[in-house]
Amino acid sequence: MPENGSRKLTYMLAIREALQEEMRADPHVLIMGEDLARHGGGFGVTKELWEEFGSDRVRNTPISENSFVGAALGAAMTGSRPVVELMFMDFAMVAMDQICNEAAKVRYMYGGQAQAPLVIRCPQGGLSWKSAAAQHSQSLEAWFVHIPGLKVVFPSNAYDAKGLLKSAIRDNNPVVFIEHKALYGIEDLVPAEEYLVPFGKGKVVRPGNDVTVIASGYMVHFAQEAASRLEEKGIEVEILDPRTLKPLDEELFYQSIKKTHRAVIVQEANKNAGLGMDWCARIQENCFDWLDAPISVLAGEDVPIPYASSIENQIYVSTSDIVRAVKEVCYG
Amino acid sequence: MIYEIFMPKLTHDMQTGILVAWVKKENDLVKKGDVLFEVETDKAISEVEAEDEGYLRGISVEDGQEVKVGEVIAYLTSDETEPLPAGSGSQPTDEAPEQPEAVAGEPVMKKEDPSPDSVSPESVSPDSLERIFISPIARRMAEESQIDIHKVPGSGPRGRIIERDITAVLAARAATKPGKLANTVAYQDRRMSRANQVMAARMVESVQTIPQFVVEMAVRLDEVLRYKAIWQEQHQKKLSLTAILIRAVSQVLGGFPLLNASVIEPETIRVYEDINIGIAFQTAESLLVPVVHNAPARSMFEIMTIMDQFRMVASERGFQPEDLALGTFTISNLGMYGVERFTALINPPQTAILAVGSSHDQLVRTDKGFGFCSAIALRLSTDHRVITGVYASQFLTALRELLENPKTLILQEVDQR
Amino acid sequence: MDKPRLFIELKQEQHLELLKRMYQIRFFEEAAGRYYRKGMVKGGIHASIGQEAVAVGICAHLRTNDLITSTHRGHGHHIAKGADLNKLMAEILGKEEGYCKGRGGSMHVAAFDIGSLGAFPVVAAGVPSAVGAGLSIRLHKDDRIAVSFFGDGALGQGTIYECMNIAAIWKLPVVFVCENNRFAVSTDCSTSIAIEDFAKMAESHGLKAYQVDGQDLEKVHYTMFRAVDYLKAEEQPVFIQADTFRFEGHYFGEPEVNRDKDQIRQMRESQDPIERFVFWLQDRYEDDIIERIDQVKQSAFDEIESACGFAENGSDPAPETYAEYIYA
C-alpha cells in the first residue's frame, strides 16, 4: 500500500484521474462513448474531462455500440489511443463482432502489421447497484477472457483502478477494462504521484495460513468481511485478488494454495462456464498433491437477474456463503 | 510450350471426379475456351474448358475413370511433335490433396491407457476391496513419513483421511520419545493355535493355583558321562542325558511320593502309585509333554527308544492323546539351548517339575588343589502346599548322589535285564 | 505525386499504367483460381474478376498514406492500392513470406505499408475501421482520406447505416464505396435489400452520393475525382455506388444456383471492363497503342507468373510459431 502523498479517493474519481493524466500526457488519447461530454458518462466517471479537453477528444457517440467500438479500433490502428466507454457491460454484447472478431484478432490475422491500442471500459455487476435487472447487471468477464488477443482487467479498489487504467491506456493491445458499479463510491488511498499497476500481477489482499480465498471485483470486499468473521473462529484466511483476469497471475494462486492446502473461489458471475471453474481446473492441475479438500467455487445462480430485491438477493454469493464454504474446506 | 491439363477442383469439397467423356481427342488442335472433357462430381456433370491453346496429347485417362483433383491427365503442346514429359501418364501434382484434416472414420486420438502408476498401489488394499478415501496432501504426507494409511482413521466426509489425521499420527510418533507414553503403538494381531491356547491355560492355572518354590543343586557329571560313554559303546546306541535323568528320577521318586502326587483341594493329597514321567518337548507352536509311562520298569534302552520316538513324533506333530496323558512328574531340559539354569512352571495337576540346564565347567576342589569338572544345574519347582524345602532338598540330594554314583543305576539295569 | 487527376487529361503512360493494374488483378485472380482448382489453396478464394475497374478507378486517386478497408473479395483492392504482388500471392498460399506471414490467407490480406487496414471478411465489419481511420485523420488534422469498400450484401448490416451516421455527424473524410455486383453469394440483392436507390439512401444519411457504371474505368475514375473534391471541400463523407459484375461465383467453385449461365456469358463478352478500356484506348490513341497494350498485358502476366514462382517457393510458417503475433 502506498505511503506519502496519498489521499482518499473514490474508485470513480481514481478512474477519472487516470483518464485525465493520460490525456494530458499523450495527445493521441481520446475518449468516446454515449453521453461522455457534459453529462460525464453513464455514471459520471468522465465529468470535467470535456471541459478540459474539448469535443475533439471527448466524443459523444450515437447509440451504435458495434460501430463506435469498430471506429475506435480503426482509430487505434491509425495512430490514436481511444478509450471507449460502454455504458453497461451488458451492451458489450452489441459490439461483440468488433471486440472479439476484429479488435482481438487484427494483429494476429495480419501477421503483426497492425496494433490496436484500444481500451474498452465496461461497468458491470449487480449487488449494490440494485434493481437494474437482467440486462443492466451482468458480469461477463468470462466471455472476453475466452478470446485470444484480448487482455482483461478488473480492479477491486481505487488504487488498482487508477494504476490498471493507466497501464491499459499505455498497452498496445485491446484491453477490456471492467469496473464494478457498486465500487464507484468506495474510497481507498491513492498516491498523488504517478504510479502504474502492471498487468498479470495479482495481489495478496490479506495473508493467512489456513485457506486461500480467491475473489475479484466487488467480491473481494465480501471476502474481506468473511475473513474478519472467520478470524474470530480461529481460521486464518488468505485473500488473493488477481486484478488482471487475462493474463492471469496463476503462480500467485499456486504459491498460496501450496501453503494453505485449501481453496475457495468467489465470483459474482453465474457459475456456468465462469472463470471460477477455469481457475478451479488450473489449481487442480498444478496443486493436486497439495490439496486437502475439494476446491470450492462460489458463484451466482444460473438465472437472469431479477428486478425485485427479494429474489435478486438470492442470486449472489453472500458473506455467510463464504464463511460456510471456508469452514467446510477446513472440515470444521 | 507445354501446358498441363489436370482434374480441376470444381466444388469446395471435391476430392475426386469421374471423367465422364473426352470431348476432344488425342492430337486435336484446341483453342482457349473449347470444351475438353466432361466431369461428374456428386453435384453435377460439368464441362471443363481449355485454358490455353495447343494440341491435346498424352491423354492418360479413359472415359469413365475416376481421377483425383490435381492429377495431370493430358497436355497441350504448341507443337504437334513436341516431346511430352518423361513418364507422362498419370502424374499427380505434388500438392494433390491428401485427405482433409478431419475425415470421418479417421481414428480418434486414443486416450492413453492408464499407466500402471495411475492406479496407486496404496489405494488397493491387499486385505480388502474397499477404497481408502484420502486427500492428496494427506496421501503425500503419509508416503513421506511411511505411515500406513490402512491404519489411519479418516475424520473427513466418507471417512476421508485428511491432513490433520496424518498430522495427528506424526504428533503421536514424535511423542513416543523415551520417557513418554505412546498414544498408539504399531502392532499385528495373530490368532493363538489350539495347542498354544492349551498351554496358556495350563500355565495360568499353574501360577494361579499352585504356590511354587524352587530349590537348586549342581550335579557333577563326570561319572554320568563315563557311564553314558560305556553304555553307548555297549548298546551301540546314542544315549541322552534326559534319558539318564528319567531313569534316575524314576528311581529316586519312589522315595519321595509327595513329588509324584496331586493336591486335591481342600485337603486331599493323591499320591500316585505309578510313576509316569513327562518330558517337555518344544514344537513349533507350543510345549507338549509326552509321558514315559511306568518309568521305573523301563530299562535305559527302552527309555532311550521311547525318547527317540518322541523326538520323531514331535517334529511331525503327531503325539497321540494317550502319549500325553497320565503324567505324574515332568522333566524339562533346556540345556541343549545353552540355558544354564531356569525355573520351570509346574504342570498341573502335578506337584513338581525338574528343570535341567546345560552342562558347564565348574571349578572344584581336588586333591591337587583345584580343577574343573562338568556339572549341570538342577532346579526343582514344587508345590508348597504339600512339600517343604527340606523335602525338596532331600530329593535333589538323593538324585545327585545317584547321578554322581551311577553304579547304582547300572546295578538297577542289571537287575532289570 | 503531381499528376493530372482528370481521367481525360492523363498521359498515355498513365492510362497504360491503369490498364496494367487491371491486367494484374485479372491475371492474379486467374492464377489464384488455378491454385484453387489444383487443390493448392485451402479455404475459399473470392475473385474480383469483372470488378477491376472499380478498384483501379477508385484507388487511382489515393496516395500511399490514404487508407482503405477491404473485404473478402479484396485482392483487387490491394493490387489497385499498390500492394507487392509477391507478398500478396505468398499470403494466398499461406506462406511465411506473405503479407500476413501466412496467418491471414486470402480472406484476411492486409498491407499496412501501402495504406490498407486489411480485408474484413465479416460483412461490413471493415466499415467502422474506416470511420475510425477518418477519426484519426481528423484528430491529426491532415488531408488524408479513408475509403471503405463493401458490397451490396453489406447493406443488410446495420453497421453500414451507423457508420454513415457517425461519419456524417463527425464530418469524417470517409468514402463509402458500394461495389454493387447485385449478388451476395447466391442472393440477388433485389430480393434482400428493400432499398432501390442506394445513392438516395446514402444522401438521406447525410452523405453526398454518386452512382456510376462500375465497368467503365473512365466513369469510375471521374466519379471518384468528383467525390474526393467534394469531400475535401465540404468536409462531408461521400458514398459511391458502383454497379458492376462479378464473372466468377462468389468463391471459386460456388455452384451459382441463382445466376443465369447465359447472362454470365453475355456479361463476360460485353461487359468486360478491361476490354472496354482497351477499346477506349484504341479509340483515343493511334494504332500503335495496340502493341503497347500487348506489352502491358504481357508485362502484367509476367509479373504474376513471377509472383507465383515466388509464392510457390515460399516456406510454410514453422509449427512452433503458431502463437506469435497475438499481442503487441
> Cβ of C253 and B9 within 8 Å?
yes
Contacts of A290 in chain B (CB under 8 A): 136-137, 140
Range of the domain at B43: 2-77
Q: What percentage of chain A reaches a pLDDT higher than 70?
A: 98
Model confidence over A283-317: pLDDT tens digits?
999 999 999 999 999 999 999 998 888 888 889 99
Q: Using a CB–CB cutoff of 8 Å, tell me whether C122 touches chain A.
A: yes
Contacts of C113 in chain A (CB under 8 A): 113
Res A283: pLDDT? 97
Q: Using a CB–CB cutoff of 8 Å, tell me whether B273 touches chain C.
A: no
**Per-residue DSSP letters for C134-155?**
HHHHHHHT----EEEEEEGGGG
For residue C321 the three cell numbers come to 510459431
Domain with CATH 3.40.50.920 in chain A: 203-329
Res B178: pLDDT? 59
The number of CA neighbours under 13 Å toward the Cβ of C66 is 22
Model confidence over C215-270: pLDDT tens digits?
999 999 999 999 999 999 999 999 999 999 999 988 888 888 888 888 889 989 99
Model confidence over C43-89: pLDDT tens digits?
889 999 999 999 999 999 999 999 999 999 999 999 999 999 999 99
CATH of the domain at C256: 3.40.50.970
Q: List chain A residues with pLDDT less than 70.
A: 1-4, 128-130
Give the predicted TM-score (pTM) of the model.
0.69
- B90 inside domain: no
Residue B169 sits in the same domain as residue B221: no
Q: Spell out the residues 6+ positions from residue A182 whose beta carbon is closer than 8 angstroms to its own.
A: A125, A126, A127, A128, A129, A218
Contacts of A288 in chain B (CB under 8 A): 136
Q: Spell out the residues 6+ positions from residue A312 whose beta carbon is closer than 8 angstroms to its own.
A: A126, A130, A131, A305, A306
Residue among C84, C249, A297, C163 at smallest CA distance from B46 = C249
In whole angstroms, what is the distance from residue A274 CA to residue B57 CA?
A: 65
Domain boundary among B176, B205, B239: B176
The amino acid that residue C4 corresponds to is P
Q: Using a CB–CB cutoff of 8 Å, tell me whether B26 touches chain C.
A: no
Of B137, B155, B156, nearest to A261 by CB-CB distance is B137
Model confidence over A74-104: pLDDT tens digits?
999 999 999 999 999 999 999 999 999 999 9
CATH of the domain at B61: 2.40.50.100
Using CA coordinates, name the residue in chain C closest to A70: C128
Evaluate whether C64 touches C82 at the Cβ level (below 8 Å). yes
In whole angstroms, what is the distance from residue C145 CA to residue C135 CA?
A: 10
Q: Work out the minimum CA distance from B37 to partner chain C, whole angstroms.
A: 15
Q: Work out the minimum CA distance from C308 to partner chain A, whole angstroms.
A: 20
Using CA coordinates, name the residue in chain B closest to C45: B12
Contacts of C38 in chain B (CB under 8 A): 6, 8-9, 69-70, 93, 95
Residue among B157, B120, B167, B118 at smallest CA distance from A261 = B167
Q: Using a CB–CB cutoff of 8 Å, tell me whether B92 touches chain C.
A: no
- C3 inside domain: no
Contacts of B33 in chain C (CB under 8 A): none
Judged by DSSP in three states, B245 sits in helix
Residue B276 sits in the same domain as residue B314: yes
- C163 inside domain: yes
> Cβ of A107 and C325 within 8 Å?
yes
Residue B171 sits in the same domain as residue B219: no
Neighbouring chains to A with at least 3 Cβ pairs closer than 8 Å: B, C
> Cβ of C255 and B70 within 8 Å?
no
DSSP state of B78: S
Report the pLDDT averaged over residues C197-206: 94
Residue B235 sits in the same domain as residue B170: no
Residue B349 preceded by cis peptide, ω within 30: yes
Rounded to 10°, the helix C12-37/C273-284 angle is 160
Domain with CATH 3.40.50.970 in chain A: 7-191
Q: Which CB contacts under 8 angstroms, 24+ apart, belong to B91-97? A: B92/B68, B93/B4, B93/B6, B93/C38, B95/B70, B95/C38, B95/C39, B95/C40, B96/B68, B96/B69, B96/B70, B96/B71, B96/C39, B97/B15, B97/B68, B97/B69, B97/B70, B97/C39
Residue B26 sits in the same domain as residue B133: no
Judged by DSSP in three states, B270 sits in strand
Q: Using a CB–CB cutoff of 8 Å, tell me whether C134 touches chain A.
A: yes
Q: Rounded to 5 degrees, what angle do the CA atoms C86, C90, C95 make? A: 145
Rounded to 10°, the helix B407-416/B241-253 angle is 80
Give bridge partners of residue A187 from the DSSP assignment.
A10
Residue among C41, C59, C46 at smallest CA distance from C225 = C59
Residue B383 sits in the same domain as residue B257: yes
> Cβ of A79 and C100 within 8 Å?
no
Res C287: pLDDT? 83
Using CA coordinates, name the residue in chain C closest to B100: C42
Count other Cβ atoms within 10 Å, centred on residue C199: 18
Residue among C184, C253, C167, C179 at smallest CA distance from C213 = C179
How many domains would you assign to chain C?
1
Q: List chain B residues with pLDDT less than 50.
A: 89-127, 415-417
Evaluate whether B43 touches C253 at the Cβ level (below 8 Å). no
Res B110: pLDDT? 39
Res B324: pLDDT? 84
Q: Using a CB–CB cutoff of 8 Å, tell me whether A4 touches chain C.
A: no
In whole angstroms, what is the distance from residue C59 CA to residue C20 CA?
A: 14
How many domains would you assign to chain B?
3
Q: Using a CB–CB cutoff of 8 Å, tell me whether B43 touches chain C.
A: yes
Evaluate whether B8 touches B37 at the Cβ level (below 8 Å). no
Residue B342 sits in the same domain as residue B237: yes
For residue B333 the three cell numbers come to 531340559
Of B136, B163, B164, nearest to A288 by CB-CB distance is B136
Q: Work out the minimum CA distance from B3 to partner chain A, whole angstroms.
A: 35
Q: Which of residues 165-194 of A touch C (CB under 8 A)?
A: 172-173
Instruction: Report, at the CATH architecture level, how domain A203-329 is classified.
Output: 3-Layer(aba) Sandwich (3.40)
Q: Using a CB–CB cutoff of 8 Å, tell me whether A126 touches chain C.
A: no
Residues of A carrying an active site annotation: 65, 136
Residue among A243, A266, A43, A222 at smallest CA distance from A127 = A222
- C318 inside domain: no
Residue B298 sits in the same domain as residue B355: yes
A-C contacts (CB, under 8 Å): 150
Residue B150 sits in the same domain as residue B212: no
Rounded to 10°, the helix B222-235/B389-404 angle is 50
Identify the residue among B137, B144, B160 best suited for mutation to test binding to A, counting A beta carbons within 10 A and taking the highest.
B137
Q: Work out the minimum CA distance from A319 to partner chain B, whole angstroms.
A: 24
Q: Using a CB–CB cutoff of 8 Å, tell me whether C166 touches chain A.
A: yes
Q: Work out the minimum CA distance from B12 to partner chain C, whole angstroms.
A: 6
Evaluate whether C130 touches C117 at the Cβ level (below 8 Å). yes
Contacts of C253 in chain B (CB under 8 A): 9-12, 14
- C306 inside domain: yes
Model confidence over B110-127: pLDDT tens digits?
344 444 433 344 444 444
Contacts of C135 in chain A (CB under 8 A): 71, 74-75, 80
Q: In what order do the strands lie in the sheet with C238-243?
A: C116-119, C67-70, C146-151, C174-180, C238-243, C208-213
Q: Using a CB–CB cutoff of 8 Å, tell me whether C316 touches chain A.
A: no
Judged by DSSP in three states, C159 sits in helix
> Cβ of B70 and C36 within 8 Å?
no
CATH 3.40.50.970 assigned to A7-191: yes
Evaluate whether C304 touches C31 at the Cβ level (below 8 Å). yes
Judged by DSSP in three states, B100 sits in coil
Residue B15 sits in the same domain as residue B148: no
Using CA coordinates, name the residue in chain B closest to C38: B70
- B137 inside domain: yes
Q: Spell out the residues 6+ positions from residue B106 whose beta carbon is closer than 8 angstroms to its own.
A: B99
> Cβ of B164 and A293 within 8 Å?
no
B-C contacts (CB, under 8 Å): 32
Res B409: pLDDT? 64
Q: Which of residues 95-124 of B touch C (CB under 8 A)?
A: 95-97
Identify the residue among C27, C34, C38, C49 best suited for mutation to test binding to B, counting B beta carbons within 10 A and taking the highest.
C38
- C122 inside domain: yes
- C238 inside domain: yes
Range of the domain at C116: 11-311
Q: Spell out the residues 6+ positions from residue B83 whose beta carbon is closer than 8 angstroms to its own.
A: none
CATH of the domain at B162: 4.10.320.10
Residue B146 sits in the same domain as residue B51: no
Res A55: pLDDT? 95
Neighbouring chains to C with at least 3 Cβ pairs closer than 8 Å: A, B
Res B33: pLDDT? 85
Count other Cβ atoms within 10 Å, centred on residue C320: 7
What residue has cell string 471426379? B17
**What average pLDDT does the structure give for chain C?**
94
Residue B130 sits in the same domain as residue B257: no
